[in-house]
Structure 1
Amino acid sequence: MDYQEVVKKSFVLIGYGAAGKWEGDWVYPIPSLWDRAASFIGEEGVDKIVGVCLPPRNDHYFYICGIELDSVDFNKIGEDMVLHTFPEQKYVVFTHRGNTDQIPATYGKIWREFDRKGYRIKAGMPEIESVRTDLFGKEESNEYEMEIWIPVE
């Protein structure tokens, strides 16, 4: 699986957030958060929607989906929205290509490669999923792409 190492500058994320979990009483808020974040499409300068998972690779998590800003802009924060700031961080970046129902399989490949190469997740840092706004509505096609950024030590 192809990937690259990237140092991402600090950023601010505003959007919609919710807690989720993979075990017990399963709670999966991610699709509804992406649906809500789609409301940003059409705003000037919004070319991608970003999802952030804290902590990565965990059964219990907090997920935020929205837009990335260079700095805090309180005028963009609407009702029921959250704002988080993240420091500069090194990531390993993978790309999922194809139907969204194959994203779990892509993550399986990512974690195998991640473990094989000896990468270690940087505690306290977000996992990032990024999709260009022109790909919204194409989630069930082979044209769909999502970047997956895993924070590393």
Structure 2
Amino acid sequence: MEFQEVVKKAFVIVGYSSVGKWDGELVYPIPSLWKRAASIIGEEGVEKIVGICLSPRSNQYFYTCGIEIDRVNFHKVKEDMTLHTFPEQKYVVFTHRGPAKNITATYGEIWRVFDRNGYSIKAGMPEIEIVRTDLFGKEECDD
């Protein structure tokens, strides 16, 4: 699987958040958070929706789905949204191709690449998913 290292400048995410867990009684809020974030798509200048997972590769996590903002636009921040800031950091970037239902296979390959190449996620840093807004509603396409 191809990937590249990229230094991403500090950024702010505003969106909808929830806790989740994989072990024991499954709590999987991610699809509902993406559905809520879809309401942001029609807003001016929103070209991508961003999913943030803290702590990656963990049985329990905190997930936020929303948009990246460069300044606080109060008309975009609704009462039930959360806001998170992240410092400049180096990221390893992968691209998923194919239907959304195949994302788990892509993640399996990503973690194998991480393990083979000695990558680790710095404590407190997120796993980031970015989806272009023009792909919403096209979860079965190969893009």
Alignment of 1:11-22 (within 5 A): 11-22=11-22
User: What's 1:79 paired with?
Assistant: 79
Offset, 1:74: 3.3
In the other structure, the counterpart of 1:98 is 98
Amino acid paired to 2:51: G
Gaps of 5+ in 1: 144-153
> More strand per residue: 1 or 2?
1
Q: Which has the higher contact order (CA 8 A, sep 6+)?
A: 2
Backbone CA RMSD of aligned residues: 0.9
Q: Residue deviations 1:97-139, cap 9 Å, x none?
A: 1111111110000001111011121111011000000000111
Partners of 1:91 and 1:36 in 2: CA distance: 26
Q: Separation in 1 of the partners of 2:65 and 2:93?
A: 18
Q: Distance in 1 between matches of 2:79 and 2:66?
A: 13
Q: Which runs of 5+ in 2 are unaligned?
A: none
Match of 1:5 in 2: 5
Q: Give the alignment of 1:1-150 within 5 angstroms.
A: 1-143=1-143
Q: Which whole-Å CA distance do the structure 2 matches of 1:37 and 1:132 have between them?
A: 12
Matched residue SS, 1:62: strand
Identity of aligned residues (%): 72
Match of 1:95, SS? coil
Cα contact 1:11–1:71 (8 A) shared by 2 = no
Partners of 2:73 and 2:110 in 1: how far apart?
A: 34
Q: Taking structure 1 as the reference length, what is the TM-score of the superposition?
A: 0.91
Which amino acid counterpart does residue 88 of structure 1 have in structure 2?
Answer: E
Q: Kindly provide the amino acid, as one letter, of the partner of residue 128 in structure 1.
A: I
